[in-house]
Structure 1
Amino acid sequence: MRVSTLNLYNTSSNQLNNLQSALARTQMQLSTDRRILTPADDPVASARALEVSQSQGRNEQFATNRNSANSSLSAVEGALQNSSELLQDIQTLVVNAGNGTMLPSDREALAVELEGRLQDLFAVANTSDGNGGYLFSGYKTTTLPFTASPGGATYQGDQGVRQLQVSDSRKMPLSASGSAVFEANPTGNGVFQTKADAANKGSAIISTGSVADRGALTNKPYELNFSVSTDTPPVTTYTITDKSTGTVGPAQTYEAGKAIAFDGMSFDIKGVPAEGDKFSVAPSEKESVFTTVTKLIGDLRAPADGSSGKAALTNNLNTALNNLQQAHSNVLTVQASVGAHMKELDYLDSAGDDLGVQYAATMDDLTGLDQVKAISDFSQQQLTLQAAQMSFKTMSGLSLFNYL
């Protein structure tokens, strides 16, 4: 068979190009540590690798989101811890204010100290989130949550709770509404509240009370009215009025310290009531902690002369202490919820790390390169190319004119 010089050159050139391309491709695989350089190399594996890569990207984004959520919740937890400590300090001051030997000047000093604690509470409630917003303003992140008002504070945020997607199926709250933390505090014992009328003249003190039979609760407001006879010795009686219907119960003889129980509620009254003294028993309401402290400051500065004045102060201090305990309990509840969310983030981080390892292993199976085989192929292709180049050089040098 006769082979023309042109055909020889063309065939050899194409073969050398193919060998160089194969060598270059293997070298590229070794440099990138990837078996698939273009989708054409393995269309099925490429499509699957794209899906895994997208899932891997989402998992990494969720990890970033969890880190952001953890930072926000840590700031909220710190603010709640400060609130808890402040409320404990205020409760201690209330207990100290109940000391019967205190002079008006001593109570004034406590009132001044409470004003400082109140400002500290405002500072905590208006804590910044570090990004130009506020922790407890709900969705209105750039609005200052609380401003002082004559009765305590005005909440300017909303009830929204910001959330962030931290996994495929979980959104994590980043904060808590300031209203839920500082304003949604039940008064009294959390079910009902007892109060002494501000116009009382006697020295009677009413207790907080407790629920004796939850099934018998009516959630109605009641009023106890006291009467003192002119007999010798005088006899003190009281009637219970259902304020919702105006129904007045039968008169009952008053005994100091004896439990008064009706409609599932139980409490007692100690001391000596005067003619016309009144006490109310009503369902618990929601009261802002700022309102509670503001009232407390006013109660400490009010005159407390005589047995009636001291009794009024004691009743007010008991009411404030009960409300502060409820506020403290509410803060602890929110704090526990934040802690549970942070713990859940730890679990999600662990699961996300495991998922990341799984995705990486799958990607390696789909696109990863067998280094040993690739190096062996590279050496073989390099040797083949060199042999082809040498043979082409030899063949291209053959000519009849060399022998003439």
Structure 2
Amino acid sequence: MRLSTYNIFNTATNQLGTLQSALARTQMQLSTDRRILTPADDPVASARALEVSQSKEMNSQFATNRQSARSSLAQVELSLKNAGDLMQDMHTIAVNAGNGSMLPADRLALATELEGRLTDLLGVANTTDGAGGYLFSGYKATTEPFTRTATGASYNGDQGQRQLQVGASRKIPLSAAGSAVFEAIPTGNGTFQTQASGANTGSGVISSGSVTDRSQYLAHNYSIAFTVGGTPETTTYTVTDNSTIPPTVSPPATYEEGKQIAFGGMAFDIKGKPANGDSFTVEPSEKQSVFTTVTDLISALRKPAGTAKEVAELTNSLNEAMDNLKSAHDNVLTVQASVGAHLKELDYLDSAGDDLNIQYAATLSDLQDLDTVKAISEFQQQQTTLQAAQLSFKTMSGLSLFNYIG
């Protein structure tokens, strides 16, 4: 068989190029420590590696989001703590104002102190997040949540809760709506509220009471009317259920100062001496702003308290304010506990995210990483093969009849 010189050189060049390309590819694998250099090397593994890489990047973004959420929630938690401390301080002032030895000037001083606390509380409610947004304005991040009014403060935000995706299937609220923190405060004991009529002339003081039998509580509106007369003089009262048609009036009962009055699953007491025609109301709790509560308390402290009637009005106002402030503080603590639960959940999600990163890294390693020992051995074998091919080609290409013609 005859082989032309052209064929010999062409075939040898192609073979040497193939061997050199294989050697270069192995060298590239060793330098990058990657088994797959192009998708063509392993299409299935390349597609799977792309999916895992995307999941790993998303997991990293969730970790960044969790850090942002933790920073925002830490600010909210600090603001709620400050608000709770202010409410507790105002509750203490209300308790001190009930001291019978207080002079009018002392109560005025307490009212002035409460004015300062109210301003501080309004400042906490209008806390910003450091980036131009307000913590407690809902979705209206650039709107100042509360504006001071004559009766307390008005809410300018909405009921929304800004959220951030912190996991594949989890969103965390970054704050709470200001209305839920500072406005939706149940009055009285949280179930019902007791109040004295503003037209009372006696010294009767009503307690906040409590629910004694939940199964009998009907959430009706009641009024308690007092009658004083007779010889000897006696004080009686009747209870009217104004929620029925027609209103239901109970038989008269003899009033005994401090004795428990119970009906409709509720119980409370009235102290002092109600005058003829005095009345009290018992109604379901309503929602009231803490700013309204403090404003009403300031007004009560600035009223005169020289007569028995005025002292009773002040005492009833103080009792009502203390109940409402306690409810407001409890509400802030509830929201604060929710924020703490979210922070704890972020810690759990961080731990789960770290585990996922390890899993993704291991999967990518299995799909992409190079078996270094095997690659070095293959590189040396390819290098030896290439050198042998180059040497043999040199020897073969040097053969000629002219070398043997003398």
Question: TM-score, normalised on structure 1?
Answer: 0.96
Q: Which residue in the other structure is 2:365 paired with? A: 364
What whole-Å deviation, never above 9, does each CA across 1:332-364 have from its counterpart, x for those lacking one? Answer: 111111111111111111111111111111111
Which residue of the partner structure matches residue 201 of structure 2? 201
- Which residue does the alignment assign to 1:75? 75
Return the offset for 1:106: 0.9
After the TM superposition, which residues 173-322 of structure 1 pair with which residues of structure 2 at under 5 Å, given as runs?
173-232=173-232, 234-245=233-244, 246-322=247-323
Distance apart, 1:167 and its partner CA:
1.8
- 1:131 counterpart residue number: 131
Q: Secondary structure at the match of 1:214?
A: coil
Aligned to 1:115: 115
Per-residue CA deviation, residues 113-165 of structure 1 (Å, 9 max, x unaligned), is 11111111111111112222111111111111111111111111111111222
CA distance in 2, matches of 1:97, 1:126: 28
**C-alpha separation between the residues in 1 aligned to 2:69 and 2:170?**
12
Distance 2:121 2:202 in 1: 35
Aligned residue identity for 1:107: R
Residue deviations 1:170-214 (CA, integer Å, cap 9, x gap): 222111111111111100000000111222221121111010111
The match for 1:390 is 391
| Percent identical residues | 69
CA distance in 2 between counterparts of 1:4 and 1:257 reads: 127
TM-fit CA distance, 1:231 = 2.6
Mapped partners of 1:98, 1:66: distance in 2: 48
Q: Matched residues in 1 for 2:99 and 2:111: separation?
A: 14
Supply the distance in 1 between the matched residues of 2:185 and 2:262 (Cα, whole angstroms).
25
- AA aligned to 1:287 is Q
Q: CA deviation at 1:330?
A: 0.5
Secondary structure at 2:215 match in 1: helix
Deviations 1:296-345 (A, max 9, x none): 11111111112221111111011000000000001111111111111111
User: In terms of mean alpha carbon deviation, does 280-289 or 341-350 score higher?
Assistant: 341-350
TM-superposition CA deviations, 1:212-252 (whole Å, max 9, x none): 111111111111111111534x2111111222343322211
Residue in 2 that maps onto 1:65: 65
Counterpart for residue 373 of structure 1: 374
Q: Where does structure 1 differ by over 4 angstroms across 4 or more consecutive aligned residues?
A: none
Unaligned runs of 5+ in 1: none
Q: Whole-Å Cα distance in 1 between the matches of residues 94 and 146 of structure 2? A: 24
> How far has the Cα of 1:385 moved from its partner?
2.4
Cα offset, 1:402, TM superposition: 4.0
What letter matches 1:337 in structure 2?
Answer: S
Q: Give how far 1:365 is off.
A: 0.9
Aligned-pair CA distance for 1:4 = 2.5
Q: Partner of 1:113: helix, strand, or coil? A: helix
Which secondary structure does the structure 2 equivalent of 1:219 belong to?
coil
The CA distance in 2 between the partners of 1:124 and 1:32, in whole Å, is 56
Q: Distance in 1 between matches of 2:32 and 2:90?
A: 65
- What secondary structure is seen at the aligned counterpart in 1 of 2:355? helix
Look up the match of 2:161: 161
- What is the aligned partner in structure 2 of residue 330 from structure 1? 331
In 2, Cα distance between equivalents of 1:250 and 1:361? 82
> 58-67 or 340-349: which moved more?
58-67
**What is the alpha-carbon distance in structure 1 between the residues aligned to residue 150 and residue 50 of structure 2?**
62
Q: Secondary structure at the match of 1:223?
A: strand
Cα distance, 1:66 vs. partner? 1.7
RMSD of aligned alpha carbons: 1.5
**Alignment correspondent of 1:147:** 147
Q: Distance in 2 between matches of 1:38 and 1:286?
A: 66
The separation in 2 between residues aligned to 1:117 and 1:3, in whole angstroms, is: 106
- Determine the C-alpha separation between the residues in 2 that align with 1:378 and 1:304: 101
User: Residue 52 of structure 1 corresponds to which residue in structure 2?
Assistant: 52
- Separation (CA, whole Å) in 1 of partners of 2:278 and 2:330: 32
Which one-letter code corresponds to 1:164 in the other structure?
L
Q: Counterpart amino acid of 2:381?
A: Q
- CA offset digits 1:375-400 (Å, max 9, x no partner): 22222222322333333333333433
1:32, 1:121 → 2: CA distance? 60
Q: Following the alignment from structure 2 to structure 1, what is the Cα–Cα distance between the partners of residues 114 and 391?
A: 97
The alpha carbon displacement at 1:31 in A equals 2.1
Of 309-318 and 68-77, the range deviating more from structure 2: 68-77
SS at match of 1:237: strand
